[in-house]
Amino acid sequence: MSIPTEPIGSIPRTPALQDALAAHAAGRLETAELTKLQEQATAETLATLAGLGCPVLVDGEQSKPSFVTYPVAGLTTLHPDGAVIPFADGHTRQLPRLTAGPFRYQVRAETYVRDARRHTELPVKQAVIAPSALSLLYPGEGLDGYPREAFLGDLADEAEADIRGCLEAGAHRVQLDFTEGRLSLKLDPSGGVLDDFIALNNEVLGRFDEDQRARIGVHTCPGGDHDSTHSADVDYAGLLPKLFELRAGNFYVQLASEPDPERVLGIIAEHLRPGTRVFVGVTDPIDPRVETPEEVRDRVLLAARHIPADRLGTCDDCGFSPFADDTSTSRELAFAKIRARVEGTALASQALGL
């Protein structure tokens, strides 16, 4: 046995793809040509990760507009003036707003799984957006003829189909991105919104059996966009006990950038359910300095003091480019950090005699 290590999801898009996305948005490039370039970038990303020795690959989200909006790309019942997410450096991201029902995904993540598996025989992981994030699309004032309860029912059905499709397409792991969990405590310190998020996500996760949930995970972090976060100032102690109520077999927890990781590890150890595994973040995508394998090893060994080695894994704190237009981190830097994670995790496995 060795300690498993997995990426979170996004990798900065290739320069050629960045140029193509801009040209397509301006109407200077046909969709078919953009799709071809996205497939080339996906194949290149998978090959590079395999060359770094990654035991589990991701497509780097080269074909996603963002980690959160891919299911609604092309949906005509949206208006751009939805919920605003503020980041610590002052910039914002704005979600679209639903204008009519019924709500249906336009793109399912299983298409990314099938495309990626055409380029590799190694295990492929797929990140999907948690239904709790998409619940923010529904306007606070409601919609005539489409009550919130009907929307949430449709959303749960669509999210279930998204996850199930990835599993059936052969995904090694399906990871729900739940960055809004920590953010919710900033917006509502009472925890009521977080409770609603947990209940909605569990409604979906509860539709899978134990073997399926062993292949499903949940990722939490304080956001990462243009080298800034939206909720790093929120105490993890308010989130983690609720997080481990989610009916998933794996949890991916941002940790490398935490100011007091040992305190967080103590909270994790207290609330971790039997039969679940925690992948702790050992590289920080926002920090421009590349961690050394020895630093990664030491972070894993610290985690192993609190979490049994057979229930421990490693990951990056967050994706390296969750939004397609984020060029704050280069591909070269992302791959260097991933190499350090893979090599450092192997060193920790050796030190622990695994």
Predicted confidence (pLDDT) per residue in 167-186, tens digit:
999 999 999 999 999 999 99
Mean pLDDT, residues 277-301 taken together: 97
Distance CA(284)–CA(320), nearest Å, equals 9
Predicted confidence (pLDDT) per residue in 133-158, tens digit:
999 999 999 999 999 999 999 999 99
- pLDDT the model gives residue 311: 96
pLDDT band with cut points at 50, 70 and 90 for residue 105: very high
Predicted confidence (pLDDT) per residue in 46-58, tens digit:
999 999 999 999 9
Mean pLDDT of the chain: 96
- pLDDT the model gives residue 93: 94
- pLDDT the model gives residue 1: 64
- pLDDT the model gives residue 186: 94
Q: Is the pLDDT of residue 212 over 70?
A: yes
pLDDT band with cut points at 50, 70 and 90 for residue 324: confident
C-alpha 231 chain-centroid distance: 15
- Does this model's pTM top 0.75? My answer is yes
Q: Is the pLDDT of residue 329 over 80?
A: yes
